[in-house]
Structure 1
Amino acid sequence: MSLLYNIGIHLTHFGLECVSPFNSKIRKGNIGRSNTFDILKNKLTKNDKTLWFHCASLGEYEQGLPVFKALRQHYANHKIVLSFFSPSGYEIRKHTPIADVVVYLPLDTKKNAKLFLDIVNPELTVFVKYDIWPNFLKQLKERKLRAILISAAFRKNQSFFKFYGKQLREALFAFEHIFTQNESSKQLLESINYKNVTVSGDTRFDRVYSQLEQDNTLNFISEFKQDKLCVVAGSTWPEGEDLFINYINSNSLNDVKFIIAPHNIKSAQITNLKNKLNVKTVLFSEKESVNITDAKVFIIDTIGILTKIYNYADIAYVGGALGNSGLHNTLEPAVFGVPIIIGNNHSKFPEAQALIDNHGMFSISNQKEFDEILIELIKNQSKRLETGKNNSVYIEKNKGAVIQILNYLRI
């Protein structure tokens, strides 16, 4: 592996250590990675047969979950190791029943890669989407251990496809097969002479479609919504919340209710959001002690229930694309057949453009555009129902990636 890459990894480690006293998220990651090998040694023996699933963060975990569930069922006698790089994935899913052992992935040094695989020695490794770690992958290849990459999405400006990306390109060849989300990713892989590739689509479609088979009832949301039209704003950031604050404070439609589920649920931000609203607003954390039926706005200051809340939406807004944080999951509300509003910074999310082209999603860049489309969707029931239906049909047509992956694995 490239000397510069390895030097860079060690410099990254040094930088993370320096920053960790001032950043709680980085500090959690550093502490978690320092405990990884002890956890693995305590929970695995040399006689255990294992599988290894790796995800960058929570989004990739949800993306891979349909495949993980199928492999968990098929390999019932294996121990499954699930690794995350980001605390946002590890902290939320560290007790998932999908895995026997959940750990932070150590930094991608040669030493860490060798020690990790000495302990885990997986019969099959599954990476999700884009988290490519060259030293770990090189070790998998040298040990002739099976590895696949699922729901991969590549762009031509990535290092793999540049003249200086030779060493990183080689890491991709550790995968015996790569399942891509789209044809353009397949073509990019073929341009570097990687041939074992299948366009299977995105496993997220299977993941969100399975939500329809679950019980999505939340009695307190039913109590809040009653028979009113409901707008759900999911995974919001301040720039998106400002749009809602201005709209709600300027409009007095009594037959519309709003649910806002911020991405950041720190108490200071939640309090600030609530205080800016000039209508009756209740928090999830106080729902047992107040009357929520006559509230106009319900702020969800907890995590883990947003997907079910989308089931109650007549219109949805998904945050992230007005700023630089990245668009959050638009497929979760789409599966429930509701129209969706997003910001305009969505170029890295092909499913967003597909939903826009399919006339189920609307991209806005300012308050005026937001107000116009929201008012139209509120007042025009036929457009609201038609555009929402376009989204549910789109999800239905694009599921099926999991079947292709399992067929390849002969499961």
Structure 2
Amino acid sequence: MLVFYNLGVRCYYFFIKLASLFNNKARLFISGRKNLLSELKNAIGDNHSPITWFHAASLGEFEQGLPVMEAYKAMSPASKILVTFFSPSGFEERKNHPTADFTFYLPIDTPSNAKEFFDIVKPIKVFFIKYEYWFHYLNEAHRRSIPLYSVSALFTPSHIFFKSHGAFHRRMLGFFDHTFVQNDSSLQLLKSIGIEKASISGDSRFDRVLKTIANPQQYQSIERFKGDDLLMVIGSAWASDMQVLNGFINNSKGLKLIIAPHLIDEGSVQKIYLGLEKRVHRYSESEHIPDNTEVLILDTMGMLSSVYQYGEFAYIGGAFGDGLHNILEAVAFGLPVVFGNEGLEKFPESITLQELGGAFSVSTAAESSEILTKLKGDSAFRGNASSICKKFIEDNRGATEHIIGYLKAQTK
């Protein structure tokens, strides 16, 4: 099986390299790995401080692991933190984040790359956040007896680990010294395949959003744009989301809207415009928002998590294609959330919050208009859903404390 895994990794790299001829994300993936190990060696240089390595697939996983990184740094101030990313969307957005002392792409998973990586970095601990299991890196940490942890892991029966043909992937799970899972069902799945070194920590994203709402960035221009009107925020929108929203948006009166496209390249932003019949302003063109603006396109990075503070309810995109994006940033501010109905089993928070009454999934434009009209017009209904959302966040805090508590106990 290892032969096929190695072949698959090399084939994947070949096709990404081919795609880089016409796709910018693929181009960044390839160019970011050019002379990567040499650059890593030069950056670390004569560092004599212990290094702890955190790996995140992309931006969402980084945000999920950030509370753990910050708490770990507070616990071990002498340590330096290396963060690696697989995806350009994570690396490009967070390559200058102050929590990380070193930030790099993860070299392609080959035996020689993994060995050289560990020879250069010499990490004292390794953390993989939520997803991504790279055999040679995990095996190298295990072979060198370096403590290896999985943070905020989430498993479902559909994952290959729990299939009859998943022995090779189960072997990777066995490399971890401890796996911190989000919920009991994940823990029971691990136990069913003999993985006992695991515990329920919860999801560290709850700790992350609680920190955001405690001290959100203020935007006076958006506060003026909202005025005394109700405001709906559409976060991480794709064209497929707009297809079920345009009818409600165009027919709604007395409501301001902020739409944050998931991708902010010109082509993607233009797709958000299609079907809109309202007066639209793009934030990137000017922070001075004209008085007659009805829809603000937030075509910037890094603002959305704080902008939710100005809204009364939200729609979160992605569930009709790429996968539902982070609903917790909106929910933490007490915004009831609406989203598509596809692939939600991968996002247990979306299912639980629906059961509680703080979130609502839709499959059609008609369903979207119905629930959004109710949220807009029924203040009691909206207020009750908002209270549910706030309580949901508060009830699920503490993942970071659990993880750090475990690590402290291991050092005694």
TM-score scaled by structure 2?
A: 0.95
Corresponding residue number in structure 1 for 2:207: 206
Question: Residue 150 of structure 1 aligns with which residue?
Answer: 151
Please report how far the alpha carbon of residue 275 of structure 1 lies from its aligned counterpart in structure 2 after TM superposition.
Answer: 6.1
Q: Letter of the aligned partner of 2:202 in structure 1?
A: G
- Kindly indicate whether residue 321 of structure 2 is the aligned counterpart of residue 324 of structure 1: yes
The letter for the 1-side match of 2:180 is: F
Deviation of 1:168 (Å): 1.8
In structure 1, the residue matched to 2:216 is 215
Q: Which deviates further from its counterpart, 79-88 or 158-167?
A: 158-167
1:12 has 2:12 as partner: yes
Partner of 1:381: 379
**Deviation of the 1:157 alpha carbon:** 2.0
Retained in 1: the 8 A contact 2:283–2:289? no
RMSD (Å), alpha carbons: 1.5
User: 1:171/1:236 Cα in 2 relative to 1: closer, same or farther (>3 Å)?
Assistant: same
Q: Which residue of 2 aligns with 1:396?
A: 394
Give the aligned partner of residue 406 of structure 1.
Answer: 404
For the 8 Å contact 2:221–2:287, the answer to whether it is kept is no
Correspondence 1:159-174 to 2 at 5 A: 159-174=160-175
Matches within 5 A, 1:10-409: 10-44=10-44, 45=46, 47-251=48-252, 253=253, 255-274=254-273, 276-288=275-287, 291=290, 293-321=291-319, 323-345=320-342, 346-409=344-407
For 1:22, what is the secondary structure of its paired residue? coil
User: 1:306-357, CA deviations, whole angstroms, 9 ceiling, x for partnerless residues?
Assistant: 0111111101000011x22100001110011111111111222111000100
Quote the offset at 1:245 in angstroms.
Answer: 2.5
Change over 3 Å in CA distance of 1:274–1:162 after alignment to 2 = closer
* Inter-partner Cα distance in structure 2 for 1:290 and 1:352: 33
Q: Mind listing any 5+ residue stretches in structure 1 that lack a counterpart?
A: none
Kept after mapping to 1: 8 A contact 2:232/2:314: yes
Q: Under a length normalisation based on structure 1, what TM-score does the superposition of the two structures give?
A: 0.96
What is the distance in 1 between the residues matched to 2:356 and 2:55?
32
Q: Which amino acid aligns with 1:256?
A: L
- 2:174, 2:146 → 1: CA distance? 12
Asked if the contact 2:213–2:306 (Cα under 8 Å) also holds between the matched residues in 1, the reply is no
Q: Is the 8 A contact 1:224 1:294 kept in 2?
A: no
Q: Which moved more, 1:52-61 or 1:14-23?
A: 14-23
- What runs of 5+ residues in structure 2 fail to find an aligned partner? none
Q: Structure 1 residues 168-177 or 141-150, which shifts more? A: 168-177
Alignment check: 8 A CA contact 1:53 1:81 kept: yes
Secondary structure of 2:394's match? helix
Q: Identify the range of structure 1 (164-173 vs 140-149) with the bigger mean alpha-carbon deviation.
A: 164-173
CA contact (8 A) 1:232 1:260 kept: yes
Identity of aligned residues (%): 40
Shift of 1:371: 0.8
Q: Quick one: distance in 2 between partners of 1:290 and 1:72?
A: 40
> Following the alignment from structure 2 to structure 1, what is the Cα–Cα distance between the partners of residues 8 and 78?
39
Partner amino acid, structure 1, of 2:285: E
Contact 1:113/1:135 (<8 A) preserved = yes
Q: Distance in 1 between matches of 2:318 and 2:273?
A: 20
Q: CA deviation at 1:265?
A: 1.3
**What whole-Å deviation, never above 9, does each CA across 1:270-292 have from its counterpart, x for those lacking one?**
2453464222211101234552x
Once the two structures are superposed, residues 132-176 of structure 1 have per-residue CA deviations (whole angstroms, 9 ceiling, x without a partner) of 111101000110001110100012222222222222211112211
Cα distance in 2, alignment partners of residues 173 and 137 from structure 1: 10
Q: How many residues align?
A: 407
Instruction: Report if aligned partners of 2:264, 2:300 keep a CA contact under 8 Å in 1.
Output: yes
Residues 73-102 of structure 1 show CA distances to partners (whole Å, capped at 9, x for unaligned) of 222222211000000000000001111111
Amino acid at match of 1:204: R
Structure 1 counterpart SS, 2:258: strand
The whole-number CA distance in structure 1 between the counterparts of 2:303 and 2:376 is 24
